[in-house]
Amino acid sequence: MDKLRSWNDGPAKRAIIDFVSAVTDRKGPHYVRPADRLAVFDNDGTLWSERPAYFQLLFAVDRVRALAPEHPEWSTTQPYQAILENDLETLAGLGTHALGEIVAATHTGMTTDEFAEIVMQWIETARHPYTGRPYTEMIFQPMLELLRYLRRHGFATYIVSGGGIEFMRPWTQRIYGIPAQQVIGTSIETRYEIRDGVPVLTRLPEINHVDDKEGKPVGINRYIGQRPIMAFGNSDGDQQMLQWTDAGDGLHFCGLVHHTDAEREYAYDRGAHIGGLDKAWDEALERGWTIVDMEKDWRWIHSWNLDQA
């Protein structure tokens, strides 16, 4: 039964269904046993929106504002000044490494448990600046259906994101149905220590792994230890993950979400300073990766479009 209800009939949906049919057909030449049915998904721009800025950056912005009274020096120091002055454009141009630095600078000293609580409180209360919706409603309904469709067909679905691993893990099970151990992301160092007789892991301002571009196949190998047969991204940050998947033996699927829908979401690709799609697009055209045209291929973008329909 076709559960990809939010996908229009078209080449992208067809390619997905054909691929899943082929690798699950026990008698076919492309059969893949369930243990090897690994699918990896970028998060920002692939599973949920990344505009007006990476949502983790908006989380960091809220954290800087919340902590600003304790840090008077921030009002004249970048990048804090830009945050406190609401200069999102300056911030957005800083890239993943800078995001990691801001996160480290504003999110350290507490334990991993305390941080998970801060994230959960934010994700449950914060609202997207343009739509006024909770961030968890900014996920793409067709991709959620795809995750479920794959799991129903014996796939393990992983997130492989440039975003912070501990920023995602507290809510991915509830929102995407993906457990913590199937979330790979950028990570910082932690230190084990006993505080008042209780073992804790303290978050340190030191990067352990940047899970972007070349870091994505490195992260896949480090965490999963096996090559995926399906990968989905939306920007040049996903190019190496797609190459890595494309280089596997046997049938595999490489997909790119193309943000073409200025009316229902956003339209951007080459030259965009968030989620730029340039080299990965060229390679997709050259290698025949599947390009999902949001405007044409997706019947609804978000679950609330569906409510309104």
Residues within the interface to a second copy (CB under 8 A):
35, 112, 165-166, 169, 173, 179-181, 183, 187, 189-192, 194, 198-199, 201, 208-209, 214-215, 217-218, 221-226, 240, 243-244, 247
Q: Give the Cα separation of 237 and 39 in Å (integer).
A: 17
Q: Six-digit token pair at 93?
A: 């141009």
Written as six digits, the tokens of 181 are: 């151990």
Give the separation between CA 211 and CA 194, rounded to whole angstroms: 30
DSSP type of residue 74: G
14 phi and psi, to 5 degrees?
-60, -45
- Which tokens belong to 281? 């697009």
Smallest gap from Cβ 27 to a second copy, in A, equals 25
Q: Computed over its alpha carbons, how large is the radius of gyration of the chain?
A: 20
Nearest distance, CB of residue 244 and a second copy, angstroms: 5
Beta carbons of 293 and 258 less than 8 angstroms apart? yes
102 and 79 Cβ atoms separated by less than 8 Å: yes
Instruction: For residue 300, give the amino acid letter.
Output: W
Q: Is the separation of the CB atoms in 55 and 171 below 8 Å?
A: no
Instruction: Enter the tokens of residue 160.
Output: 């492989």
Nearest-angstrom CA–CA distance, 57 and 52: 10
**Whose Cβ is closer to a second copy: residue 128's or residue 213's?**
213
Q: Which run of H or E residues covers position 230?
A: strand 230-233
The minimum distance between CB 193 and a second copy, in angstroms, equals 8
User: 223: closest CA among 165, 186, 184, 172?
Assistant: 184
- Which of 38/143 has CB closer to a second copy? 38
163: helix, coil or strand? strand
Nearer to a second copy by Cβ, of 83 and 229: the residue is 229
Nearer to a second copy, 202 or 303 (CB): 202
Question: Between residues 4 and 175, which has the closer beta carbon with respect to a second copy?
Answer: 175
Please say which residue, 76 or 181, places its beta carbon nearer to a second copy.
181
CB of 209 to a second copy, least distance (A): 8
Taking the complex as a whole, the smallest distance from the CB of residue 99 to a second copy amounts, in Å, to 19
Select 198 or 309, whichever has its Cβ closest to a second copy.
198
CB nearer to a second copy: give 283 or 295.
Answer: 283
CB of 198 to a second copy, least distance (A): 6
- Residues in Cβ contact with 2 at an 8 Å cutoff, skipping those fewer than 6 apart: 17
CB of 256: closest distance to a second copy in angstroms? Answer: 17
> What's the distance, CA 187 to chain centroid?
14
Q: Which residue's CB is nearer to a second copy, number 47 or number 220? A: 220
CB of 108 to a second copy, least distance (A): 15
Q: How far is the CB of 8 from a second copy (least distance, A)?
A: 33
